[in-house]
Structure 1
Amino acid sequence: MGAKIVPQAGWTLPEWRSAYINGMQPLDAIEHVLAQLPADDNAWISRATRTQIAQQVAALTARLHAAGGDLSRLPLFGVPFAAKDNIDAAGWETTAACPAFGYEPGANATVVQRMLDAGAILIGKTNLDQFATGLNGTRSPYGAVPNTFDERYVSGGSSSGSASAVARGLVPFAFGTDTAGSGRIPAGFNNIVGLKPTKGWLSNAGVVPACRTLDCVSVFALTVDDAQHIAHLAGGFDAADPYSRVPQATSPLMHAKPRFCMPDQLQWFGDHESARLFNTALAQLKEAGVEVEPVDFAPFLELAELLYQGAFVAERVFAAQHLLTSKPYEINPVVRGIMQGAAQYSAVDTFRAEYRRAELSRIINQTMAGYDALVVPTSPSIYTIEDMLDDPVTLNSRFGTYTNFANFSDLCALSLPAGFRNDGLPFGITLLAPSWQDDKLAAFGRGWQQSHPLPLGATGRSLPALPAVAPAAPAAHHVRVAVVGAHLTGMPLNVQLQERNAILVERTHTAPKYRLYALANTTPPKPGLVKGEAGSAIEIELWDVPLAAFGSFVALIPAPLGIGTLETADGRSVKGFICEPWAITDATDITHFGGWRAYIASLQTA
């Protein structure tokens, strides 16, 4: 009998899955994880008891039995996770880092329930800036959570405990929340990935609101792949959350030569190390073929200031209103001061602020049109806990310089590790894009993380060899179509796909069993793809065409072309352009070019 498998700090989701496939048992694994947690670790507000673990494992075992023992039907089988303590879990007290506010919910938050349904095991609730009001991690009666690289420095907040637990490899992922940057700042300060999703993708049902119209449940992980995987398992429309939205299908790919924008003026507040590392990151982006252009950042900064320096601060009073009136001194004095400041604003002030928010949001989205992403420093600087406690408002507000505007303007964001300062502290960059571009950011972020092999969090581990990305399933109510010629991106008939709101999903090749021909007498020039024994792999693009528009698209296809079934290089069968064999009798065989694009380029250079 081989040695019993026990989990190691810093395992990623694929490593957890592999261990269970090879015989690791969930009860043994979770008890081992809990035994490794330091007793005095203030990243946690509450931890699972042996009874809670036993109950979760028993429920998990029953689900596995119902699934016929098929682990693939429980994608997070036995994986431990943590949730910020403003997110409800049945049987656990929710405090929002304010004991006087604490209550025991009768049901799980939707995101927690979806993790349990996928087989994950909740092992603890994590510390936070009280009522998720702060970006630094010091505003909690449970103690200031220290930075995982230097305990003198802040961890970032408000999702301080969740980021700390992930950075140290105690759990492979944890939920935070993000209103002004709480899912990004702690990621940047602890060398991990912070995924701030499009508003409404992950349900807020069962989440204590900070600013209900802006809040997002966020995901911390050691790798982009893990963060994206958790977001997809946790996300989706939820009727229990009135701000939940039906996800919109968009292309998961950036342009072949991505275009990023960046602030035309950068504020560093005297931090030359952060400035140096951001310039290094810009150089690395450009070396990777990314075009980076400065844009007017004034509207972004003005919108960022609206969050705390105006009437919108009144929304933060909602969850704690009763406590603020009846027991105000139970609230952290800095948080209390922020909430009490709302009294100076009228309803008219609130609408005035909303009108300006809408104007600035429109400007920001127009500014970003035509770019794949906005790249910014995750934070312009970092401070010690002592300095933060001495000047809690000014220094905290600096952290929000490049984060506060995101939810106001309906952007998604991904915070990525980007190196280490000379003082040993991490530095991060954040990519932002319009709503529902989350997968596009993740695809780029995955490549960034692979080409910048930094240690994972504070674990000292290297990025494991990443498995090939599984092809995405077709978007709901769409037909996946392979195009091979004039419908490729940049070609004359690509507009027919764009007019039908088709989504570019993937650039790939056919199986090596096709021949490509340039058909005679076609305008614009068109190819014919014919399956044959002595064939080659031919370049194709896969597009998801809305089912309602598929018929009108097919109606535009002239003979001898038609839609049939193609085989891709990895063995999938998709709908795609085919050609009737009789049409190749007077056509030119161009198979050796490997694709229509290369053939057209040869004509232009001939």
Structure 2
Amino acid sequence: MNTLPPDPDPVPATQPTASGRVISAFERITEAARPELWTTLRAVEDVLVDAKAVDERVKAGENLPLAGTVVAVRDVLDVAGQPSGRGVPETSATVVARLTSAGAVVLGKTGAAAISAAWDRTKVGGDGAAVAVALGVVDLALSTGGAVPAALNAVAAVRPTRGLLPTTDVSVYSNGLVPAQRALRVMTGGDRTWPADVRLGAGEHPRIAYPADPELGEAAALAFRGVVARLTAAGAILTPVSVPEDGFDGFDALLLPTVPDHPDIADALADPAGVGHRLAAGTALANLLDVAAVTVPVLPGDRRPFGVTFVTRAFEDQIALDLAAVCTDEPITPYPEPGEDVVVFGAHLRGQPLNARLTELGARFGGPVRTTERYRMVLLDTEPPQPGVLDGGTVLDGERWRLSPAAFERFAETLGTPFVLDRVELDDGTTATAVRCDPAAAGPGLDRYESWRGYVRFTSTAGLRGPG
């Protein structure tokens, strides 16, 4: 269930500029004709000044991960020089300042009036920030609106564990999880730090609870059942429960339908409190408890308002992102929590007898790896059978797993004699900590094999032996 790291993006012939993105954003504003989204929209000249400064920084060689990104900010967050309820602040809120330091450019500030949705002007949209993202005006938006506006406009929303960002209860809206995660990387750093034993993954078969009888309209119920089926097909173990708010006992995450239906804008204007309460009822848990939450549309490119929200324990943001990525088909890289990687070659591989020692510690699968042609496997006298990795002249296939610092220490303690942790060279030019063995314990050589799975397949038909 852990998603794999993405392949490197192809480098375009000409990198897009921040100035060009700002120009296209204002063109999209004109096309969309939705002035009600904005409480303050900056003058194009002022935004271009910021964008050209970003372009100059890039040209000078600075690494700006958000260069070319245009952002909207909810009006409750300060933006330097922009009016707020407290006057005109001289400095931006820390989350905003971190985005702009990384190359993002703020287009304007949005409100939370009862506005219409991005894809159906007769329906409620919930938050100008989410609508601006859905319409492609901005790439990212910061808001306090949470899951509901994201669902109503078919965009993603990531609400990290409280305290990981320096501003409480901020959600990031984006078209897809990858842009949101990129923004979180530069914003993370609040008054809470990651626990040393934080779980970074839920294994290949995460356990997910979901409401057995949610009160949903027909379309929303159909969409929700589709997500349950999709996750089941991906290997998750889903269990209907009567009251999912009771907690996470026995489960890695809760799966919730984000909204029960899509109210008309006229109904929202006539009864804003009633409509708001009905829409928020399904995901109230994410706002009340100390949790992490990720909201996504039911399928990539699906503009229906019936998204789903994954809720996980505090600091298990990575698990929520990985589960949500099953719906969006995106390759999710690790959230910037502390962790250490280890490469395994034998019984700790996925599907092998000792893999549970990793998954029970909350290790996150980081993908397959190959070594340089400098190693070889030998058969060890262990139960279950395991290989030892020594210096030699063969390429070996293994897997990379990431653990929290405390989990890494506990994993090392489980290895025992004759295993040791040592560095190996990988074929991508990097080195990594790997499970190897003391040369004195070497058994029969397995020189003809590049992978332990290959040897296991051989022994399943030919019987356990050292074929050297």
Scaled by the length of structure 2, what TM-score is found? 0.83
Instruction: Tell me the residue number matched to 1:482.
Output: 343
Q: Are residues 1:111 and 2:105 paired?
A: no
2:389 to 506, 512, 529: 529
User: Any conservation in 1 of the 2:54–2:103 contact (CA below 8 Å)?
Assistant: yes
Aligned-pair CA distance for 1:485: 3.7
1:37 to 29, 43, 51: 29
Once the two structures are superposed, what CA deviation does each residue of 1:362-398 show, in whole Å capped at 9, x if it has no partner? x41xxx2332321111111121011122232222211
Once the two structures are superposed, what CA deviation does each residue of 1:554-581 show, in whole Å capped at 9, x if it has no partner? 796424x322212346443111122355
In structure 2, give the amino acid aligned to 1:254: A
SS in 2 for 1:170: coil
Q: Are residues 1:166 and 2:133 paired?
A: yes
Equivalent-residue separation in structure 2 for 1:372 and 1:393 (angstroms): 33
Equivalent-residue separation in structure 2 for 1:86 and 1:435 (angstroms): 25
1:517 to 366, 369, 378: 378
Instruction: Tell me the residue number matched to 2:184.
Output: 231
Q: How many residues of Structure 1 are paired with residues of Structure 2 in the alignment?
A: 453
User: Any conservation in 1 of the 2:134–2:175 contact (CA below 8 Å)?
Assistant: yes
Instruction: Tell me the residue number matched to 2:236.
Output: 290
Equivalent-residue separation in structure 2 for 1:494 and 1:259 (angstroms): 17
Equivalent-residue separation in structure 2 for 1:566 and 1:447 (angstroms): 32
Instruction: Tell me the residue number matched to 1:313.
Output: none
SS in 1 for 2:66: coil
Change (3 A) 1:414 1:552: closer
Instruction: Tell me the residue number matched to 1:406.
Output: 286
User: Any conservation in 1 of the 2:202–2:364 contact (CA below 8 Å)?
Assistant: no
In structure 2, give the amino acid aligned to 1:245: R
1:93 to 67, 83, 89: 83
Instruction: Tell me the residue number matched to 2:254.
Output: 374
SS in 2 for 1:216: coil
User: Any conservation in 2 of the 1:43–1:126 contact (CA below 8 Å)?
Assistant: yes
Q: Are residues 1:431 and 2:290 paired?
A: no
Instruction: Tell me the residue number matched to 1:146.
Output: 116
Equivalent-residue separation in structure 2 for 1:195 and 1:370 (angstroms): 24
1:393 to 248, 269, 273: 273
Aligned-pair CA distance for 1:292: 0.9
Higher share of residues assigned helix: 1
Instruction: Tell me the residue number matched to 1:57.
Output: 51
1:566 to 419, 424, 439: 424
Equivalent-residue separation in structure 1 for 2:20 and 2:445 (angstroms): 66
1:187 to 150, 153, 157: 150
Q: Are residues 1:546 and 2:405 paired?
A: yes
SS in 1 for 2:220: helix
Instruction: Tell me the residue number matched to 2:211.
Output: 263
SS in 2 for 1:164: helix
User: Any conservation in 1 of the 2:201–2:362 contact (CA below 8 Å)?
Assistant: no
Equivalent-residue separation in structure 1 for 2:256 and 2:68 (angstroms): 36
Instruction: Tell me the residue number matched to 1:176.
Output: 143
Any residues of structure 2 matched to 1:264-279 within 5 Å, and which?
Answer: 264-268=212-216, 271-279=217-225
Change (3 A) 1:280 1:552: closer
Once the two structures are superposed, what CA deviation does each residue of 1:162-182 show, in whole Å capped at 9, x if it has no partner? 1011001111111111xxxx2
SS in 1 for 2:325: helix
Aligned-pair CA distance for 1:86: 0.9
Instruction: Tell me the residue number matched to 2:104.
Output: 120
Which of 164-173 and 284-293 deviates more?
A: 284-293
Once the two structures are superposed, what CA deviation does each residue of 1:419-441 show, in whole Å capped at 9, x if it has no partner? 59x9x843211111111122222
Equivalent-residue separation in structure 1 for 2:194 and 2:218 (angstroms): 40
User: Any conservation in 2 of the 1:511–1:571 contact (CA below 8 Å)?
Assistant: no
In structure 2, give the amino acid aligned to 1:532: G
Change (3 A) 1:507 1:518: farther
User: Any conservation in 2 of the 1:518–1:589 contact (CA below 8 Å)?
Assistant: no
SS in 2 for 1:103: coil
Change (3 A) 1:40 1:257: closer
Aligned-pair CA distance for 1:83: 0.5
Equivalent-residue separation in structure 1 for 2:327 and 2:175 (angstroms): 13
Instruction: Tell me the residue number matched to 2:5.
Output: none
Equivalent-residue separation in structure 2 for 1:280 and 1:502 (angstroms): 28
Equivalent-residue separation in structure 1 for 2:38 and 2:450 (angstroms): 61
Aligned-pair CA distance for 1:405: 1.4
Instruction: Tell me the residue number matched to 1:315.
Output: none
Aligned-pair CA distance for 1:410: 1.3
User: Any conservation in 2 of the 1:26–1:78 contact (CA below 8 Å)?
Assistant: yes
Change (3 A) 1:147 1:70: same
Equivalent-residue separation in structure 2 for 1:438 and 1:70 (angstroms): 32
User: Any conservation in 2 of the 1:252–1:443 contact (CA below 8 Å)?
Assistant: no
User: Any conservation in 1 of the 2:164–2:192 contact (CA below 8 Å)?
Assistant: yes
Equivalent-residue separation in structure 2 for 1:541 and 1:197 (angstroms): 25
Change (3 A) 1:380 1:253: same
Equivalent-residue separation in structure 2 for 1:43 and 1:493 (angstroms): 54
Structure 2 segments unaligned to the other structure (5+ residues): 1-7
- Choose between structure 1 and 2 for higher RCO, CA contacts under 8 A separated by at least 6 residues: 2
SS in 1 for 2:306: strand
In structure 1, give the amino acid aligned to 2:328: Q
Aligned-pair CA distance for 1:256: 0.9
Aligned-pair CA distance for 1:539: 3.2
Task: Give every structure 1 segment of 4 or more consecutive aligned residues whose post-TM-superposition deviation is greater than 6 Å.
Answer: 489-499
Change (3 A) 1:253 1:191: same
SS in 1 for 2:36: coil
User: Between Structure 1 and Structure 2, whose CA radius of gyration is higher?
Assistant: 1
User: Any conservation in 2 of the 1:277–1:419 contact (CA below 8 Å)?
Assistant: no
Equivalent-residue separation in structure 1 for 2:437 and 2:97 (angstroms): 50
Once the two structures are superposed, what CA deviation does each residue of 1:196-248 show, in whole Å capped at 9, x if it has no partner? 111111221xxxxxxxxxx41111111111111111221112xxxxxx31134
Instruction: Tell me the residue number matched to 1:594.
Output: 452
Superposition RMSD in Å: 3.7
Structure 1 segments unaligned to the other structure (5+ residues): 1-13, 96-101, 130-137, 139-144, 205-214, 238-243, 301-362, 451-465
